[in-house]
Amino acid sequence: MEKPIVRISVRNLVEFILRNGDLVNGSSASDKEAMLKGSRLHRKIQKQMGSHYQPEVSLKKDTEYDDLILRVEGRADGIFSQDDRFCIDEIKGVYKNLELMEEPVPVHRAQALCYAWIYLDEHELEEIDVQMTYVHLDTEVIKRFRETLTRAELRQWYKELTDSYHRWLAYQIEWRKKRNESMENLDFPFTYRKGQREMVSGIYHAISKKEQIFIQAPTGVGKTMSAVFPAVRAIGQGMAETVFYLTARTITRTVAQDAFEILRDRGLLFKVVTITAKEKLCFCDKPECDPEKCPYAKGHYDRINDAVYELWTTEQSFDRETLLRHAQKRQVCPFEMSLDLAIWMDGVICDYNYVFDPNVCLKRFFGENVSGNYLFLIDEAHNLVDRGREMYSASICLDDVIETRKSVKPYSQKLWKKLGKVKKQMEELKQNCSEWKVQENAGVLPVSLLSVQGELDQLLEEPPSQELVDGILDFYFEVRDFLNISELVDDNYVVYTAFGEDGRFYEKLFCVNPAENLQKCLDKGNSTVFFSATLLPLQYYRKMLSTRSENFGMYVESPFEQSKRLLMICRDVSSKYTRRGYEEYHKIAEYIARMSWQKKGNYMVFFPSYRLMEDVYQVYQDEFSVSWVRCISQHASMTELEREEFLNEFTEESEETLVGFCVMGGIFSEGIDLIGDRLIGTAVVGTGLPQVSCEREILKDYYDEKGEQGFDYAYRYPGMNKVLQAAGRVIRTKEDTGTILLLDERFLNRDYRNLFPGEWSNAGTCTLGNVEKYLQAFWNTFEDK
């Protein structure tokens, strides 16, 4: 059988095997800016070396093992000969003070040694020189280190390096063989529900064709397992190597972990890591990664490879608790350990931003010119539209420019002057802006800010005090993000200036359609599955999330009996701004009262805003409160403990009726499961339209100009998504029974009815005068049984 060839670059090899020392926050240097400066100086030095100097020499070497061939490849910065002696030259651009350097950085020297061995062995030399050339990125001062190495020394050194890496590859190959064998008789773990078999086969077909598929699948279908199972089987068939299960919320990450665990209980061998936010994994009060303050950061790289290897080879599931336990045992950073583990995983469960966000995406998977055999399963895909807009937008604030300018004046006159230029440019924009204003483009700001960033890099390389760093670091990242996004600006962007609610003035690069940026990330893998209970209208989400025209689409029917749910449109009430006032609040409160009086149990009422919720709550308490009904209310900025306590109030055994007042699109309208009698009724107040804002109006105008329905894109579709999510809290399993009231006459309009899912085809209408009759008749049906 032909041995597999495993390729790795010289740089990645030495940085993985030979890394050492402390874990430190990356507070300095724009990588892209440093890279550009470094490339320019590379070329300058190479030209200065004369005609005997060969720049950018491609080298590669195969090392054969029993189970694989390891191919190490890269480009030496330079190779030259003097007096019949050959020399490998490795050039590194740095910001550090070269006078203080006494020896080359070990991983830099290791790169040069790799090239030295490959070149020496290929040309049958007995010894070779290695030269490390360091150049300061601003002053262009050069410092060199040179040494001579023999064939024996380099052979032994290189063998130890590749053998260390082969240990990891050998385990991976053996594991993947066992993994694939474990799938040969793996069946779907449950009896197929209605629509589930179609979803599984549709996803498998899309993966086999390396296509993308959009699936609208209502609650109860079992979406998570229906997505995970065909993806796992596809990996067993060699169609991909890594599954990325992407979510917007913590709760859905847990559901995904459970799905993999269910398959493991049936014999599947599959290693999965759940990447949790740094703040939630850090052992310290504040995740600073300062070796002086954190024992896990000090010497982290000395211990991390052994820690990762031990954990990888002894476990299959790597959730938060497992990571924390092993990180504490090995004294390493748990967050960094989770990222290192991800490279060797069969599956990665994580938030959207680890794939799409240009600032925090996993560079080892999705960096420039990096791709792989990945499958993307995107849960709750409707959330990715606004999240995508957020990730690919950036702004710069005039007030931050002014504050930073004051802070740096004593330390850098150059930076102070450059910030003065930015300040003047933004003040000119401010004078021509009353509330908000669309600009033709970003103007000269990116050019001025690029100059500012260079000076910030200099200052942060050797900062005069930690206090200054703390004061300007947020602004540093604000500038970096703005510059990164400015390179993406195209027809999918609108640049505008505006005053925020706090009066602060800013310029924003607003990504109105994130599809193209998202697609660039998805194209790094093989296939993508977008799925959600609320992906309507499908055509809208296809345009917002993908640029491909050949995407599959699938609508899965609800497996639940419509007779177990009463859905009524209340046609004599509205939440329109023009109708808001005591009379309408009284109607809404009365509907809530009449709903909750019909049957003892737990109810939720969802409002489009806190303000409306509070106004109606007051009227309800004043005029409709009774001793057997208790009310609780969501409030802004609830802690995780407060959220848990709120949900724990919804018990099946309660002796009283409970009504929870909540906000649509908030923490209780999506991703929670109150099964059985924990929730028996929901009222949704209004059509969920987002509040009018400059960005919503910009979206509306942008799509109107494109010949689309701008109001739908900016307001109606996002609003109905919130409505569907809120209404979907009631019926979670086939045993559940419940009522849904849609409190707004606008739901009778065709524009809204066309957005109803298929299972809402039996929606009835009612008024305050007859709603109790319908509710009584519905509940009596089940009491008779």
pLDDT digits 0-9 by tens, 209-258: 999 999 999 888 899 999 999 999 999 999 999 999 999 987 788 999 99
Task: Report the range of poorest mean pLDDT among 142-151, 184-193, 365-374, 696-705.
Answer: 365-374
Contact 215, 202 (CB under 8 A): yes
Mean pLDDT of 10-24: 93
User: Is residue 674's pLDDT more than 70?
Assistant: yes
Q: Which CATH code is given to the segment(s) 562-784?
A: 3.40.50.300
User: Is residue 83's pLDDT more than 90?
Assistant: no
Q: Which CATH code is given to the segment(s) 5-171?
A: 3.90.320.10
Instruction: Give the residues across from 528 on adjacent strands.
Output: 212, 376
Task: Report the range of poorest mean pLDDT among 25-29, 173-177, 255-259.
Answer: 25-29
User: Is residue 34's pLDDT more than 70?
Assistant: no
* Order of all β-strands in the sheet with 493-499: 394-397, 505-511, 493-499, 436-439
What 3 state SS string does 293-320 have? Answer: CCCCCCCHHHHHHHHHHHHHHHCCEECH
CA distance 342 to 328: 19
Mean pLDDT of 136-158: 94
pLDDT range class, residue 785, cuts 50, 70, 90: low
Mean pLDDT of 27-39: 56
Q: Which CATH number fits domain 186-270+349-392+514-559: 3.30.460.10, 3.40.50.2300, 3.40.720.10, 3.40.50.300?
A: 3.40.50.300
pLDDT in tens, 477-503: 999 999 999 999 999 999 999 999 899
Mean pLDDT of 323-334: 96
For CATH 3.40.50.300, the residue range(s) in the chain are: 186-270+349-392+514-559, 562-784
Pairing of strands 85-94, 69-82: antiparallel
Contact 430, 445 (CB under 8 A): no
User: Is residue 590's pLDDT more than 60?
Assistant: yes
Pairing of strands 505-511, 493-499: antiparallel
pLDDT at 177: 95
Tell me what percent of the residues of the chain surpass a pLDDT of 70.
98
pLDDT at 26: 55
User: Is residue 28's pLDDT more than 60?
Assistant: no
Q: How much is the pTM?
A: 0.92
Tell me what percent of the residues of the chain surpass a pLDDT of 90.
82
pLDDT range class, residue 32, cuts 50, 70, 90: low
pLDDT range class, residue 55, cuts 50, 70, 90: very high
For CATH 1.10.275, the residue range(s) in the chain are: 394-511
When the pLDDT of each residue in the chain is averaged and rounded to a whole number, the result is 93
Q: Which CATH code is given to the segment(s) 394-511?
A: 1.10.275
More reliable by pLDDT, 624 or 637? 624
Of the candidates 430, 482, 431, the residue with the CA atom closest to the CA atom of residue 453 = 482
pLDDT range class, residue 29, cuts 50, 70, 90: very low
Mean pLDDT of 142-166: 97
Mean pLDDT of 629-646: 94
Cis peptide, bond prior to residue 537, ω within 30 of zero: yes
pLDDT range class, residue 27, cuts 50, 70, 90: very low
